[in-house]
Each structure stands twice: as C-alpha cells, then as structure tokens.
A = this chain, B = another copy of it.
Amino acid sequence: LVLLTELYISSMPSSQTIFPFSVSEEHKCLNSELWHACAGPLVSLPAVGSRVLYFPQGHSEQVSASTNKEMESQIPNYPNLPAQLICQLHNVTMHADAETDEVYAQMTLQPLSPQELKDPFLPAELGNASKQPTNYFCKTLTASDTSTHGGFSVPRRAAEKVFPPLDFTQQPPAQELMAKDLHGNEWKFRHIFRGQPKRHLLTTGWSVFISAKRLVAGDSVLFIWNDNNQLLLGIRRANRSQTVMPSSVLSSDSMHIGLLAAAAHAASTNSRFTIFYNPRASPSEFVIPLAKYVKAVYHTRISVGMRFRMLFETEESSVRRYMGTITGISDLDPARWPNSHWRSVKVGWDESTAGERQPRVSLWEIEPLTTYPMYSSPFPMRLKRPWPTGLPSLYGG
C-alpha cells in the first residue's frame, strides 16, 4: 500500500550543496529542499558521519504521539541503557509516506565505544541548520480552495515571487504550470490572472490534485521555485487529532519495548541500529548533534528565574520567538531516566495563550538571555554527574 521513495543524502558531496532533483531518475530521488520545506523551518538533520546524541526518551515520545497511547508501566527496565547514547550517524535517508506524503527520515546510528569517544572533535560536526528555500510560499487552504466549486486563489505576493511572470499582453494573462511533488509526480495547473478585482488563480488541474492528495480546508500547500527553475509542490496536513494509526501490527507497548531493547542491544554490542524520525509527529528532535548538546549543557549556565527565548513555527511556515522564564530544573522521569537532560527545564511562557506550548523543554532548544535576567537565582545549575567518559577531552583535539 505504502511505497517509499528515498534520497540517499549520504551520497551528497556536502550538506551545503543543493541536490539536483533529476540526477538519478531511476532512484526516484526525494528532493531535499522540498523535504525540508515540508518538515518545517525548525527541523534540521545532523550531518552524515557526524557524532550525535540519541535520546531513547524522545524516541519513546514519538511512538506515544504516533500511536496515541502512553507507555504502560509494565515495560521492563534496561539498566544498561543510558538516557542518552553518543552515536556515529552513518546514514540518513529522507522518506515520504506514499499514502499521506508525510515526511520522515531514517537514520542508522552506531553507539561509540569509549575508545572512539576520544577521537578529536571535528568543528564541522556543529552542523548547519538546513536552509529553507528562499523562493517559496505556504498557504493554508480555505473552504473555497478545497471545494469542488472552483480553483485555488493564489496570494498576490506569493504568485509574483514564486511563479514565472505572466505575459500581460494576453487577455487574460495565463500560463500552464507544472509542479513536482515529493514522489516526483508531476501536476499541471492552469495559472490565470483574471476577475474583478484582478487576482491570481489556479484553475484546471487543481481539483484533481486536491482529491488525489485528499486535502481539506485547514491543510497547507507549499510551492517552491528552485535554482533549477523547477516548481516543487508539497503539502502539510493540519494536526487533525494525530494523523496516525494505533497500528494493527504491534501493540504500542511492544513498540516501546522494541525501541528500548534495540537501543540497549546496540549499546551493549556497539552495533548499528535504525530509527525513524518523524519531524511533524515527534514533539522534539531526539537525535541531535553532539556539539549542540555539549554547547548547551557544558557551556551554558542557566538557573531558575532566568529568561529565555525559543523558536516556534508559524502558520505561514516561518518562525517566531516566544519568551518565557525558567521555573525549575529537574528530571522528567527520575525513576526510569535519572540524570537525563531530556526536557529537564521546567518553563513558564509569557503569553497567556501558551497552553499549547510544552511546560518542559531541553537545554539545547532554548536561548537563555544571560544579559537581562529577570532575577538571579541563588542556586545556579550544576551538573550532578560530570560526563562519565572522557568527553571534555574531545576538546583537547
């Protein structure tokens, strides 16, 4: 039912290089720009070959979110599985569910041995935030956009920015647009500029697209004009009560056990294991660059009462900052995951509509405002246990 198309970004010459869409038609490559645009401006994938931290806790949260079921208490403990694993990231492939176009990434991780941890630190491992495309727009579909009664109303600025210019000597000005989706399928639309007042519209071809992708009002579409003068087309479904399955394959408990046991086994044997990261289902990234973690945990001093900023995605696929105050620092799950930095920071948000923002975040997700603290705490945060392996030596080089 669900087939996958994939792009082996490990074969990319550099993570900065933009991967041409049609390099290998036989692999039906997934366009990296489009994948990232669909994933959202805040999502970045660590570089292949770099060292990362993997959080089983965060992975578990993704399974809970995907199955709509909390983990039961009957799950066995894995005493040898630490709250975070330092891993080598061997491979990252981008995927899209052929049914729903939901984007996700597959990563191959290998826990590092204490010996390997002593390797010199590579500056490149800081990673670079995935560049969002510049020539693009994202619109949330209205009732009119999705009804069978008409086409798609293109916001004026968007049309002028990302669509090829129309020939205004024609009456009415019109052209045929062709856009490729994540799977490489081509969609044709008639782009016309008409009406009183004049406006940009997509007419013929639009309803086929809407019904094929089963889009409804509230979902979003995303057009990109890339450097190869190609039009790319992605979709983002609204969060309608979790776009997921309780899985008729495996109980959610077994899934939780599975990911924990897989990680524990990989950790004990230093062997590779595979995980899926679904950026729009997961509450937070659970595979992060080692350098990002080290910077946040070892080079940042935070304390209760400190002010901070944090990035969030807006409806229009851009970012904005929300402000808040740190209200506490403690383990999220002291029994199962003691001394974990995963969501160890309790926070309060400035804006009263903050009910939707999570009350706990991780250090590397926030931007502390050290210059203007609201009030300083007499208890600055200190690490209870220093890093057990020789991590600081990573800096010695």
Contact among B240, B248, B250, B257 for A265, CB-based, below 8 A: B257
The interface centre, meaning the residue of A66, A99, A276 with most chain B CB atoms within 10 A of its CB, is A276
Q: Is the CB of A265 within 8 A of B95?
A: no
The interface centre, meaning the residue of A67, A95, A243, A259 with most chain B CB atoms within 10 A of its CB, is A259
A242 at interface (Cβ–Cβ under 8 A)?
yes
Given contacts A2-B244, A243-B1, A246-B2, contact A253 B274 (CB under 8 A): yes
CA distance A260 to B255 in the complex (A): 11
- Beta-carbon nearest neighbor of A244 in chain B: B1
Contact among B1, B106, B253 for A262, CB-based, below 8 A: B253
Given contacts A2-B244, A242-B1, A276-B248, contact A255 B257 (CB under 8 A): no
A212 at interface (Cβ–Cβ under 8 A)?
no
Instruction: List chain B residues, Cβ under 8 A from A95.
Output: 248
CA distance A151 to B352 in the complex (A): 56
The interface centre, meaning the residue of A104, A242, A244, A254 with most chain B CB atoms within 10 A of its CB, is A254
Instruction: List chain B residues, Cβ under 8 A from A106.
Output: 251
Contact among B66, B75, B76, B273 for A249, CB-based, below 8 A: B66
Given contacts A1-B244, A257-B258, A265-B76, contact A67 B251 (CB under 8 A): no
Instruction: List chain B residues, Cβ under 8 A from A271.
Output: 74
A97 at interface (Cβ–Cβ under 8 A)?
yes
CA distance A262 to B248 in the complex (A): 16
A61 at interface (Cβ–Cβ under 8 A)?
no
A102 at interface (Cβ–Cβ under 8 A)?
yes
CA distance A217 to B244 in the complex (A): 28
CA distance A253 to B253 in the complex (A): 16
The interface centre, meaning the residue of A246, A255, A258 with most chain B CB atoms within 10 A of its CB, is A258
- Beta-carbon nearest neighbor of A258 in chain B: B258
Instruction: List chain B residues, Cβ under 8 A from A274.
Output: 251, 253-254
- Beta-carbon nearest neighbor of A275 in chain B: B251
A166 at interface (Cβ–Cβ under 8 A)?
no
A278 at interface (Cβ–Cβ under 8 A)?
yes
A272 at interface (Cβ–Cβ under 8 A)?
yes
Q: Is the CB of A276 within 8 A of B247?
A: yes
CA distance A83 to B274 in the complex (A): 26
A-B contact pairs, 7 of them (CB 8 A): A63-B250, A74-B273, A253-B274, A257-B258, A257-B261, A258-B258, A258-B261
New contact pairs (11) apart from A1-B242, A106-B251, CB-CB < 8 Å = A2-B245, A4-B246, A63-B249, A74-B271, A250-B255, A250-B258, A257-B257, A257-B265, A258-B259, A258-B262, A261-B261
